[in-house]
């Protein structure tokens, strides 16, 4: 294996930073920016910063099983809140982010789970009150202050929302952990199975999504006998959410077949999103957040577990609500946890989604930079861009990422795949992945902590470390990259090489239309670790920008096809010759795990 010098990437980064900082970003109203013009920063409020210790227990009294607060346990509230996020907007802006995606802030069931296996709703996905901020995070006025302050800086605010399910409040008389019961075996018109007594006379099934049809669905006891335990009759808000008739009540999803959209998500109450009353109710709820706070977009959780007809009504309604509020570029993207471009594209063609999170690109980067597959996987990935509704232009607004709060951090993937790699190699691989994220098509999304070299132990709770000083032992024993510190100390500094690289590339991206809105042309790829080269073109001027990456641990020296002649300027990284070797061909020499971003010729 070729060695890269300990200070080589540091010198290169410093040079790139100086060049980028000399290039001003054009002033622009934040409302005018298209979704693809953004760099997104994603965070869970509970794990970001604690600006108000008085709300750590959410106004509740008792132990952690009542309040949900235990900063020493990775599965409970740690104290982060909206005031903490507010006071860190300068940090987010310094990183180069132009939009902040805030994990769900709605009031949650504080604690749920079987005895001995309880955890808290710190993540925000167990909603009871869809209309107000969870007291652990503050009050509605705190969110208004945050949004207004972000907008004053030109930073957009995206909310993370859920319509598939609520917190686990409804119980079944027959069992605690209930298996899924299908529509064939347990039809809506029989109580407890096909041989049971008749109920819901005239109901034509949940595929007939009309108010007249659903008016005939009055008895929810077709599969199980759902009930709300005493004391929980009014646990949810708005009040209509407390009626079991608005839920599927069929037991736990197997995440396949019909249960994918009609089963309970790990026991959470699964809303019957086919019912027109649920559709109109959810439109009222989330349209209200647009009206009250002027937010700029929604990331929608568990999108694949909701029927298409719901999205076909809900998404246009949200876009219309935003336009009425003078928000013309409202960014909506769904979480469809699948790396297949065909599966992802379906949601833009059938379900009316403008965009989905690009799990396909994430997998390609993991396979090549945190793995050993050839760079030809990117050719396969990008060739499928034509599948999306709207064609190849649609993937320009797909949020791209290399790791997140569910799947884990990219640095964790590197450490897992290359357990014998030293810190220099791990750093080089993470920087290469960041360079891909910031220069390829899509909307780069940074998960809080990645810029500080966080390396978790896995996914889910193991990837949800605190940015403020942590008291969780399994977080604090992690070996971070780019720093000798641990998560036991606050990480809002700006000296980690990863922070500096992302800030530099973000500024470059935002000042280079070819990188935000430009089409891509594949120039080179290999069936083994090595060269990936792609040209991107300014949609207005035709300016060509070549991005080249070396996923191998040996240096490479290659000729790469280009479409423009003239002088070549290196914008980031290193390796492009200063002029073409011949018309249509440029020499590229990349260090092991190196990259280069180069402008070719003059704008046409």
Residues annotated as part of the active site: 301, 335
The pairing of beta strand 443-447 with beta strand 40-43: parallel
Structural contact between residues 122 and 68, judged by C-beta atoms closer than 8 angstroms: yes
Give, as one character, the DSSP assignment of residue 32.
G
Going from the C-alpha of 273 to that of each of 248, 267, 313, the distances in angstroms are: 9, 17, 11
Structural contact between residues 548 and 595, judged by C-beta atoms closer than 8 angstroms: yes
> 556 CB contacts (<8 Å, ≥6 apart)?
530, 531, 550, 588, 589, 590
Partners of 165 in beta bridges:
270
How far the first Cα of the chain sits from its last, in Å, is 42
Measured between alpha carbons, how far is 327 from 338 in angstroms, rounded to an integer? 30
Structural contact between residues 299 and 337, judged by C-beta atoms closer than 8 angstroms: no
Measured between alpha carbons, how far is 569 from 23 in angstroms, rounded to an integer? 13
Going from the C-alpha of 175 to that of each of 118, 165, 178, 392, the distances in angstroms are: 19, 20, 6, 48
The pairing of beta strand 99-102 with beta strand 40-43: parallel
Structural contact between residues 522 and 382, judged by C-beta atoms closer than 8 angstroms: yes
Could you give phi then psi for residue 175, rounded to 5 degrees? -170, 165
């Amino acid at each position: 294996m070729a060695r890269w010098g300990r200070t080589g990437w540091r010198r290169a980064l410093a040079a790139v930073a100086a060049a980028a900082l000399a290039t001003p970003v054009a002033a622009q109203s934040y409302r005018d920016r298209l979704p693809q013009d953004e760099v997104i920063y994603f965070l869970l409020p509970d794990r970001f910063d604690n600006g108000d210790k008085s709300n750590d227990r959410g106004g509740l009294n008792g132990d952690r099983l009542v309040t949900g607060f235990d900063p020493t346990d990775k599965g409970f509230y740690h104290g982060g809140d909206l005031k903490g996020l507010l006071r860190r907007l300068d940090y987010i802006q310094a990183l180069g982010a132009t939009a902040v995606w805030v994990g769900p802030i709605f009031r949650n069931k504080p604690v749920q789970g079987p005895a001995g296996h309880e955890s808290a709703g710190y993540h925000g996905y167990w909603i009871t009150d869809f209309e107000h901020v969870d007291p652990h995070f503050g009050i509605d006025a705190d969110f208004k202050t945050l949004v207004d302050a972000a907008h004053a800086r030109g930073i957009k605010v995206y909310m993370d929302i859920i319509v598939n399910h609520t917190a686990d409040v409804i119980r079944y008389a027959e069992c605690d952990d209930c298996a899924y019961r299908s529509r064939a075996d347990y039809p809506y018109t029989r109580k407890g199975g096909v041989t049971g007594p008749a109920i819901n006379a005239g109901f034509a099934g949940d595929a007939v999504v009309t108010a007249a049809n659903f008016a005939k669905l009055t008895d929810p006891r077709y599969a199980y006998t759902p009930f709300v335990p005493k004391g929980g009759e009014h646990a949810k808000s708005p009040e209509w959410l407390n009626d079991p008739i608005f839920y599927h009540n069929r037991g736990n999803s197997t995440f396949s077949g019909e249960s994918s959209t009609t089963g309970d998500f790990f026991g959470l109450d699964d809303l019957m999103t086919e019912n027109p009353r649920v559709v109109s109710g959810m439109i009222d709820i989330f349209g209200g957040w647009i009206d009250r706070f002027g937010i700029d977009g929604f990331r929608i959780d568990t999108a694949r577990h909701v029927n298409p007809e719901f999205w076909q009504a809900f998404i246009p309604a949200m876009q219309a609500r935003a336009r009425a509020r003078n928000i013309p570029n409202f960014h909506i993207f769904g979480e469809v946890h699948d790396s297949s471009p065909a599966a992802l594209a379906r949601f833009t063609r059938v379900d009316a989604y403008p965009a989905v999170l690009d799990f396909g690109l994430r997998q390609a980067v993991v396979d090549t930079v945190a793995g050993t597959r050839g760079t030809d996987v990117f050719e396969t990935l990008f060739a499928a861009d034509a599948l999306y509704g709207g064609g190849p232009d649609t993937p320009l607004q797909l949020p791209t990422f290399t790791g997140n709060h569910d799947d884990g951090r990219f640095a964790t993937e590197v450490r897992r795949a290359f357990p014998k790699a030293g810190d220099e190699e791990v750093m080089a691989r993470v920087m290469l992945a960041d360079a891909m994220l910031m220069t390829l098509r899509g909307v780069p999304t940074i998960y809080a902590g990645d810029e500080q070299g966080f390396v978790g132990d896995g996914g889910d709770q193991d990837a949800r470390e605190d940015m403020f000083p942590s008291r969780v032992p399994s977080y604090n024993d992690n070996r971070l990259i780019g720093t000798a510190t641990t998560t036991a100390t606050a990480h809002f500094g700006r000296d980690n090489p990863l922070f500096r690289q992302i800030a530099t590339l973000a500024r470059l991206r935002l000042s280079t239309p070819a990188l935000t809105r430009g089409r891509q042309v594949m120039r080179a790829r290999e069936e083994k670790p090595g060269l990936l080269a792609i040209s991107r073109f300014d949609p207005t001027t035709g300016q060509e920008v070549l991005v080249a990456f070396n996923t191998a641990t040996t240096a490479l020296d290659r000729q790469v096809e280009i479409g423009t002649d003239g002088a070549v300027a290196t914008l980031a990284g290193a390796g492009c010759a200063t002029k073409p070797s011949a018309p249509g061909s440029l020499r590229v020499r990349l260090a092991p795990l190196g990259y280069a971003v180069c402008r070719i010729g003059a704008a046409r």
